[in-house]
Amino acid sequence: MTILSLDMYSEMPMGVRKAPAQRNGLHRLFAAAVVNDQFRETLLREPEAALANGYLGQPFSLSDQEKIILKSVRAKTLADLAQKVNQALKTV
């Protein structure tokens, strides 16, 4: 099984750039939500609890701004959450 990590992308001709290292915690959070239904549902319904509990006993290394965004954005699906978080981060 291959796991795709967003920070594996390098610069590409279509304008896609390598993700900055400081977003590693956010990438880990979304990866956990992709592979674990229970964590995903907690993240969508109770983001404060998901951030406080971490995943498999490991906390997420998130900036204060990322935490604020994750706690304030409401979404019904993981794709919707990712899109809204990405949009919010572009305005920061």
CA–CA distance, 81 with 87 (Å, rounded to integer): 10
- SS3 per residue for the chain: CCCCCHHHCCCCCCCCCCCCHHHHHHHHHHHHHHHCHHHHHHHHHCHHHHHHHCECCECCCCCHHHHHHHHHCCCCCHHHHHHHHHHHHHCC
With a threshold of 0.85, does the pTM exceed it? no
Kindly tell me if the per-residue pLDDT of 19 is higher than 60: no
Reported as a single tens digit per residue, the pLDDT across 57-84 is 899 999 999 999 999 999 999 999 999 9
